Chain A
Amino acid sequence: MKLPLDGLKVADFSWFGAGPICAENLGRFGATVVRVESEAHVDGLRGVMPFAPGKTGYNVSGYFNAYNAGKLDLTLNLSTEMGKEMGRKLIAWCDVFITNQTNRMVERWNFGYDELVKINPTIIAAYQPMQGFDGPHKDFFGFGSVLNAITGYNELSGFPNRPPMGIGTNYPDYVINPGHTLIAILAALRYRNKTGKGQCIELAQIESAVAPLAPAVMDYAANGRVQTRAGNRIAHAAPHGAYRCADNTWNDQPEDRWIAIAIFDDAQWRTLVDAMGAPAWASDAKFATLAARKQHEDELDANINAWTKEQRAEDVMALLQSRGVPAGVVQNARDVLEDAQMKARQYYQYLDHPEAGHNAYDGAPFRLSKTPGTLRSAAPVLGQDNEYVCKELLGMSDDEIAEALVEQALY
């Protein structure tokens, strides 16, 4: 089967989440992706949990492996002259270059766009600096958890009586930034296919992450309102939240279970009331309309909670969904891996890794009916494709490869 990106060559000089996830999706749809790493500059995720049970070393992190499947792996020490020279060969070879390294590191490598086009005039070069190429904060830095704070997700998410703790993950790293970058690269590719011209993509992570929060910023600009945390509530729905259900028992421990319910209009409300068995409290005028329910939302939520708390979350979901009411279990990772829908659609792809074993990998973010993406191999072991990449892709001789090893350029 011909895939959309068959023949596309990608040099992936990124690390952690935002760059590698984007490059992984290019590979999923046909591109040949060479992931560049070095033992002198190991991707931090290789050292982060979870690890395959009983295993140690750089190759068994589930965190790293998840974002690098299907790639060839080349260890190139870019602090050596020969390493830089080989890096330039890879730049000449590729169609798409991607990095989420800091501006400082890109400068140290001499891989700015002006330099890359000297080597490869039609290259598509995608950079993901945290704050952009220029400006007073251009060298400010941080991981996703810091970006969450800087971009407003922390201030705006969670309950008002709690500090702005964020949402428990380095959120923009996983979809927001890699997903936006993928769109930009595909737009640039389409333009190059039409005109033969390459271009530079600058995804400032702060801009990419604030863009989805537009309504809060527009509300401030237009109305002077400074929105803050409102828990699980929104202005045009009630009830709207996560409600406690009966605990599960798992590994002999109680496990809290919750159901998310969202009621937007009065017809949905009447359906919910009917599904609850039309309790007396629900017929009170103070819950009859959306405006009234918003006004008495604390009491409303307490009543809904009283109804859900003795039931299994799965039962509440099945009951409400059978009547067309939006409701879903707040699933944990076990639930998602065993989710009937995810299984039926075979979202997770299971791949065999020589050291980490047989593991689940996230599937494609979108399904194309005629060219479904697939991960062709598990994540690479550090440096596993050095010889292949040097010989077959960069055209180096055995002597040159030996020299690169001696010089610790291949390292």
Chain B
Amino acid sequence: MTDSALDDIRVLDLAGDIGVYATKLLANLGADVIRIEPPDGDPMRDIGPFWHDDPEGGAEPVADRSLYFFNLNANKRGITLDFTKPDGRALFEKLVATADVVVETYTPGYLDSLGLGYEALTKIRPGIILTSITGFGQDGPHAGYAWADIVGVAMSGMMTLAGEKEDPPNMPYGYQGYINAGIAGAGGTMMALVHRDGTNEGQHVDVSMQEALSINQETAMQTYDMTKQIRGRTGARGIIPIDIPGIGIYDCTDGQIFAYLGTPGGAPWTVMLDWMKREGMAEDLDEGDNLDMVKSLNLAFLTGLVREPEKLPERIKVLGHMHGIFSRFCASMSKWQIYEEGQRQRLMLGIVSTPEDLAKNPQLAHRNWYRDLEHDHLGAKVRYVGPPYRLSATPATLRTRPPLPGEHNAAVYGELGVTPEGLKSLTASEAI
């Protein structure tokens, strides 16, 4: 058995979508995360994609087929509890007395209104860390605003940068607002734990999705702050609105690659030309003006284009011609071939990976990054992604499949001294 960074830490997980990536990360690092679900069902289990595309499970329904839920809840124990009911509240308070961290995502003020806010929790468990992950944070004029992933992404300033000018702004795939909020929630919780270890002092960790996302504006914030210019959407061509050979997206026989040639640290365009010649695809690239351009084309040259406006029309013509030749070269090969052969020559070329490409990526396969976990209730193994980091002494691990609803009620409530009979009456009163 390996050591763990968090095996002495118990986390009560009340998180909805916006915070559950945080508790996933804490669970993977070894914490005893007890996920608390409402007795009438956790809405997260109804979000697709589903195992074998079947949310119901056919003739013998199993309320546990959501791959979205699986991903976020492996390694956790699961109980059902309604702390708005008196019996449920008493149990919750007993649980809090055993916990180091509570992670919650209710509308700010809700837990306080129940008498279960930060101050109340510290009375039950001195030194406790309460991590609250919400759309806009615990205070301020928008604290009560309703959030959704796309709303956070919009309000953070990053969405206005994505897409073509004439399209609506694009949201990034995959609930990135919730992911970013979760990363901040886990980071804040870890920071508070380090502080508690040294002082026995707990605290309230407050994460705003809008704030957690806003550094993703890249330079847009500083650009406005310093120069009062607004960065907007520049689409597929990027900030230089002309065809530049070897920069941007190119079609291959079976998909696309993203090229970024001529940037510092990579091989120069002349290496690209040599490869194209070997493949018999260089056309007239090694002649006259074209060859001159091949020799001078790099990022510094491109950023200097505007300084010699009189030469611009001729240069745009040559660049456009080269772009056509480079496009034909890419169209003659597969995306994997361009990516792997190009990178081996230090050419900054990247495959535009589909989920299938990610699943088949030889690097990830070599490093055994994907993990298969037995799901006894499905009679099958489910493939999971690996952890975001590898720690040599305290690795993040995938240990147990996510809990079925209320699967650990007997175990967890048993630890609190609840008898099997007591469990029955708590179930009857819908407290659990």
Contact = CB atoms under 8 A, between A and B. Distances in A.
A215 interface: yes
A406 interface: no
A98 to B, nearest CB: 12
A3 to B, nearest CB: 8
A187 interface: yes
Interface stretch (A70-78, A151-159, A280-288): A151-159
A223 B221 CA distance: 41
Given A141-B265, A325-B146, A366-B206, A212 B3 contact: no
A334 interface: yes
B158 A136 contact: no
Nearest to A357: B226
Contact of A132 (B231, B352, B363): B363
A218 B353 contact: no
Interface of B: 3, 5-6, 21, 25, 29, 46-49, 51-53, 67-68, 70-71, 118, 136-137, 139-143, 145-164, 167-174, 176, 179-180, 183-188, 190-195, 197-199, 201, 203-208, 210-227, 229-236, 249, 256-258, 260, 263-266, 339-340, 343, 346, 348-359, 361-364, 366-367, 369-370, 382-394
B265 to A, nearest CB: 7
B193 A190 contact: yes
A366 B363 contact: no
Q: Which 5 A-B pairs have the closest CB atoms?
A: A62-B222, A366-B188, A262-B148, A149-B258, A156-B173
A340 B141 contact: yes
B223 A333 contact: yes
Contact of A174 (B49, B216, B390): B216
A1 to B, nearest CB: 11
Contacts of A221: 359, 370, 382-383
A388 interface: no
A246 interface: no
Contacts of A365: 183-184, 187-188, 207, 211-212, 215
Interface string A126-144: 0000011011111111110
Contacts, number: 518
Nearest to B69: A215
Query: In the complex, which of the residues B71, B154, B352, B359 has the most CB atoms of chain A within 10 Å of its own CB atom?
Result: B154
A207 interface: yes
16 contacts: A4-B191, A136-B363, A141-B266, A152-B173, A162-B167, A164-B352, A167-B163, A188-B5, A207-B369, A213-B355, A215-B71, A216-B358, A230-B173, A328-B147, A335-B157, A371-B192
B336 to A, nearest CB: 11
Given A151-B358, A184-B389, A187-B190, A212 B211 contact: no
A220 B359 CA distance: 8
A157 B213 contact: no
Contacts of A162: 163-164, 167, 235-236
Given A242-B154, A250-B230, A157 B172 contact: yes
A243 interface: yes
Q: Which interface residue of A180, A259, A331, A365 has the most chain B CB atoms within 10 A? A: A365
Contacts of B226: 50-53, 62, 356-357, 359
Contacts of B146: 321, 324-327
B389 A203 contact: yes
B8 to A, nearest CB: 8
A275 interface: no
B255 to A, nearest CB: 8
A229 B225 CA distance: 33
A134 B364 CA distance: 10
A332 B227 contact: no
B154 A328 contact: yes
B401 to A, nearest CB: 13
